[in-house]
Amino acid sequence: MINGKRIAVVMPAYNAAKTLEQTVRELPDVVDIKILVDDSSKDETARISRLLGVQTYVHDANYGYGRNQQTCYREALAAGADIVVMVHPDYQYTPALVTAMASMVSSGIYDMVLASRILGGGSLKGGMPLYKYVANRALTAFQNLFLGVKLSEYHTGYRAFSRELLQTLPLLENSDDFVFDNQMIAQAVAFNFSIGEISCPTKYFKEASSINFRRSVTYGLGVLATTFSFFGHKLGLHHAARYDATGRKVTQQYYVEAAQEL
């Protein structure tokens, strides 16, 4: 807990058995709620998560990274979290920054905090492939221009959010795939939420999840589509439910499901 606010860490997982324990063991004491959503892994991810005392939810099929996050946020909000930090259980990002990121949100200054691999200049030293670095810089410059903000990186998977942001954004309108992350930033900009950044080291190794070149290209095209959709909606050229306040939200979906079970 920080400033009287309950902190939840959510971990969207797929085949993270080899790195999960190390990730959970290094989470700071300020974390009140630990949640893992297993997207139908083929290994022992869910079993290890339960042994570690983490609230564990298992999808009945491999729905994708974006759908996994939707479940993560829904369950974190239902558990009473005021601040939610997404930590990948593959140990690519250090859990030690959870306190700093949550503190930035708890201050009331920021609604979203991104842990940037670009700030500090350590991304290449940490093993980021050169083609990913170049694409990262190019796509970031492109999006800064069209979204009208100035971020150092849009593509980190290490993020912190306020409860208000997660309740407001129409997250169920987003992709089930990796571009969900990028769409979420665009939504935060569209709804005028404040975004902060913190420098974060990263490391690439065998057990760390990383999409291959083909899926990276698909992701890049998705980023371009997200940007054009945002810009078109802003100019009134087309309507996108993703940027509309009436779009489907994780809180709405959760409570509908709960009511049906009663």
Domain ranges of the chain: 7-257
Architecture of the domain spanning 7-257? Alpha-Beta Complex (3.90)
Q: Write down the pLDDT at residue 214.
A: 80
* Statement: residue 262 has pLDDT above 60: no
Cβ-contact 46, 56 below 8 angstroms: yes
pLDDT band for position 169 (cuts 50, 70, 90): very high
pLDDT-wise least confident of 20-34, 69-83, 120-134: 120-134
pLDDT of residue 206: 59
What's the token pair of residue 84?
A: 């939610």
Core vs surface per residue 129-152: b (16+ CB within 10 A) or e:
eeebeebbeebbeebeeebeeebb
Beta 55-58 vs 33-38: how paired, if at all? parallel
Q: Kindly report the pTM of this predicted structure.
A: 0.89
Q: What's the confidence (pLDDT) of residue 260?
A: 46
Confidence of residue 118 (pLDDT cuts 50, 70, 90): confident
- Which of these, 244, 84, 104, lies nearest to 169 by C-alpha position? 244
**Which H or E run contains 91?**
none
Q: What is the mean pLDDT of residues 256-262?
A: 44
71 and 46 in contact (C-beta within 8 Å)? Answer: no
CA distance 114 to 151: 9
